[in-house]
Chain A
Amino acid sequence: MTATPSERPATATAVRRERRSLVSPGMIALYAVLVLIALFFVVPLAWMVSTSLKTESAVFTDKSFIPANPTFDNYARILTASGSTPVFRWLMNSVIVSTLGTVLTVVLTSLSAYAFARIDFPGRGLLFGLLIATLLLPAVMFLVPQFILVDILGLLNTYPGFILPGLAGVFGVFFMRQFFLGIPVELEEAAYVDGANRFKTFISVVLPLSGPALATLAVISFLAYWNDYLWPLIICEGAGCTLPAGLRNFQGAYTAQFGLLMAGATLAAIPVLVLYVFAQRWIVQSVTSAGIKG
């Protein structure tokens, strides 16, 4: 993915062409276009943060990106709000659901994937085929029956209600199995000869070799749980919601109070954006590999 020294052009003409090209009119035009496009992506985010720092009256009168009288009042108001818009509760719910959901997804799907990758057992092909077949099924057909199921189990508005349907997903099994198949079997044979059983081999040999794949799956799972919207919206109410679903209720509660709304949106955006700033290259690579392999 990234340019390595070996990829550099071998011929002298190519090297000369590249050196020259950095200051050529063509390169200046390219940078101009790239910066303009970057503005299209950055300006709305800047506007969101800017609005969140303005007072309710300044939102409509102060049209600049740098607020004349910046204030954190909006954040203070929504974070201490209770009643129908307990934003802090929603934020905590999102943190708990996303963290638990990610950990459980990684643990459960890699356990299952390991058996599918490494152990022959009756029904293996059939079971794996069954799991993979559901990747083809559109999520919409599960919406109503999963809601009724969660109602029957008494899990409406609870953490397990948010987490369990996502945990049933099969992408992780498929993704981790592909990775395990690429690990040389000989490494496990050595552990086996030393007397380790399957589980011990899995923990002490396979998992330590699987860091990048596990991390990729964790990133994908965390983003999926953190950003999940429609499912929480269906099963939650009031203080039980996660932040994205809560923001929808928020929209109804604070119609046209855009300073408050943008403070709420910024709060939901900041954790992933901060994570992204520190690990952007790696997150992009994770999503790319998951997207292509999926």
Chain B
Amino acid sequence: MTAGAAPLAPPDTPRRPTTTSRRRRIGEKWYTPYLFILPHLAIFLVFVGWPFIFGLIISFQDFFIARDRQGIPAPWVGLKHYIDLFTPGSIHFGRFWQTLWNTVLFVIISVPTLVGFSLALAALLNGRFPGRNLFRSVYFAPWTLSVAVIGLLWWWIFQSQGGLITNVLTALGLPAVGWLTSQPWAWLSLLIATVWWTIGFNTIILLAGMQAISRDLYEASAIDGANKWQQFKSITVPSLRPILLLVITLQVIASFNLVGQPQIITNGGPPTAQTTPVLLHIYNVGFAQIGRFELSVAAAMSFLVALIMVAVSVINFRIFRSDES
């Protein structure tokens, strides 16, 4: 959950004509603007600029933190890690593609669910009735929590011993299923927890978009005898297209970044790695194998995954742009 990690930033288009005050003032030192940007820019260059290059470099090396701490330079291995990832039978091949597919699977099941239900929720809330803001606030509340909190909570709720859902199903005389110990229930558990946690975000964005639609359109169509469903289909959704595409884009990125929920709720299984998304796999390879942190392999995987994510963003962006023109 990066709050507002924004892929759709428009390029630096001049929105207003340059005024005299935007130019440097008479008597102003040449370095004044640089003093304003320096504190942030320095941190940016060290913590974003340098890692951007360094991450690429170590993906061509065999980098181990213990060796680095002793000042021993990491040996160069060229494209080895990348080639391994594309060589069937190599040690990292199978798990990488399996977990990448898991991530894609989660994107496929979660994006329509989270966008579809949030659209329905926003439509329900898009009226004028007492308590509307209260309902909106309740639906959004879980979004303010950490994945660690919602992960532990749903891990407990889905337990087959004493878990809330099992209690309810048993009380209703229904058979209990092993939510965390069998498929497809483990995936469904992750989906339910994620819907509960994040659907409020999509909902408030879509609701804001709906409220920006002119009421005249609804009133005119009501006079023409249109019912609520017809209005939703032929006024709300078409007017909402840009916002809807924004929400879809943000949701694809958010779902691609799945990592905390399976780590805490399903422990990546069952069986082994069945619900491990590629980001969790990268974490495991780079940071969780005690005594053998394969940081170079993790860096190479990260770059491949990042390339895929950028490609997906660009495709989304293209759709977004062509839609606007």
Contact = CB atoms under 8 A, between A and B. Distances in A.
Interface of A: 1-3, 7, 9, 11, 14, 18, 21-22, 27, 30-31, 33-34, 37-38, 40-45, 47-48, 51, 59-60, 63, 108-109, 111-112, 114-121, 124-125, 127-129, 131-132, 134-149, 151-152, 164-165, 167-168, 170-171, 173-175, 181, 185, 188-189, 192, 197-198, 202, 220-221, 223-224, 226-230, 234, 243-245, 247-248, 251, 258, 261-262, 264-265, 268-269, 272-273, 275-276, 280-281, 283-284, 287-288, 290-292, 294
Given A138-B306, A140-B279, A198-B32, A11 B219 contact: yes
B16 interface: yes
Contact of A284 (B19, B137, B155, B159): B137
A84 to B, nearest CB: 16
A63 B167 contact: yes
Contact of A135 (B7, B21, B24): B7
Given A112-B41, A128-B12, A151-B68, A284 B215 contact: no
B152 interface: yes
B116 interface: no
Interface residues of B, number: 115
Interface stretch (B106-114, B183-191, B200-208, B230-238): B200-208
B85 interface: no
A228 B2 CA distance: 8
B75 interface: no
Contacts, number: 332
Q: Is the interface of B mostly helix, strand, loop or mixed?
A: helix
A179 B88 CA distance: 52
B24 A119 contact: yes
A114 B38 CA distance: 12
B8 interface: yes
Contacts of B128: 3, 18
Interface stretch (B49-57, B90-98, B173-181, B268-276): B49-57
A1 B63 contact: no
A174 B152 CA distance: 35
B22 A174 contact: no
Nearest to B161: A60
B303 A189 contact: no
A125 B4 contact: no
Contacts of B140: 280, 284, 287
B313 interface: yes
Nearest to A163: B43
Nearest to A26: B228
B15 A135 contact: no
A142 B28 CA distance: 38
B202 to A, nearest CB: 9
A146 B51 contact: yes
Contacts of A173: 40
Given A136-B7, A268-B149, A291-B205, A124 B54 contact: no
A288 B205 contact: yes
B162 to A, nearest CB: 4
A150 B8 CA distance: 30
Contacts of A119: 22-24, 32-33, 36
